[in-house]
Amino acid sequence: MSPITTLLFFFFFFQITLSLSHQNTTFNFPSFTLRNITLLGDSFLHDGIVGLTSSTTVPTSTSGTLLYNNPIFHSSNFSSFSFSTNFTFSITNSNPNPPPSSSLNHFSFFLNSTKHFISLDFHTNDNTLGFNFNNFSNSIQTVGFNFTSGNLITSWIDYNKSFNKNLSVFLSYENSSFSKPEKPVLSVDVDLYEYFNEVVYLGFLGYVEGSTELQQIMKWSFEFFQFSQNKNSSMHNLGYQVDDIPPSNTTKNHHGKRFVIGFCVAVVGPALFFVVLLVLGYVSFRKWSSLRKLKKNESSMGCPKKFSYKELKFATKGFHGSRIIGNGSFGTVYKALFVTSGTVAAVKRSRHSHEGKTEFLSELSIIAGLRHKNLVQLLGWCVEKSELLLVYEFMVNGSLDKLLYKESECVILLSWVQRHNIVVGLASVLTYLHQECEQRVIHRDIKTANILLDGNLNPRLGDFGLAKLMDHDKSPVSTLTAGTMGYLAPEYLQYGKATDKTDVFSFGVVVLEVACGRRPIEKEGQEMVNLVDWVWGLYSQGKIIEAVDKRLNGEFHEDEMRKMLLLGLSCANPNSDERPSMRRVLQILNNEALPLVVPKVKPCLSFSIGLPLTLEEIVSDIGERFGSNQYTCKIIIEPS
Cα–Cα distances (Å) from 331 to 266, 334, 348, 383, in that order, read 49, 10, 6, 15
Tally of CB atoms within 10 A around 315: 24
Q: Would you call 40 exposed, middle or buried from its count of C-beta atoms within 10 A (0-12, 13-18, 19+)?
A: buried
Question: Is residue 306 part of an annotated ligand binding site?
Answer: no
DSSP string covering 305-340? EE--HHHHHHHTTTT-GGGEEEE-SSEEEEEEEETT
Local structure of 591: helix, strand or coil: coil
- Residue (of 440, 453, 576) closest to 507 by Cα position: 576
Report d(CA 251, CA 598) in Å as an integer. 82
DSSP string covering 37-94? EEEEET-EEETTEEESS---SS-EEEEEEEEESS-EE--TTSSEEEEEEEEEEEEEES
Report d(CA 548, CA 562) in Å as an integer. 9
Q: Which of 42, 121, 158, 445 is catalytic?
A: 445
- Residue (of 303, 291, 363) closest to 330 by Cα position: 363
Tally of CB atoms within 10 A around 214: 21
454 is catalytic: no
Q: Would you call 359 exposed, middle or buried from its count of C-beta atoms within 10 A (0-12, 13-18, 19+)?
A: buried
The alpha carbons of the chain give a radius of gyration, in whole angstroms, of 28
> Looking at residue 176, what DSSP letter applies?
T
Taking CA 388 as the corner, what is the angle to CA 371 and CA 308, rounded to the nearest 5 degrees?
Answer: 90
List, in sequence order, every residue forming a beta bridge with 207; answer none if it has no partner: 63, 106
Report d(CA 27, CA 574) in Å as an integer. 42
Local structure of 219: helix, strand or coil: strand
Catalytic residues: 445
Binding residues: 348
Binding residues for ATP: 348
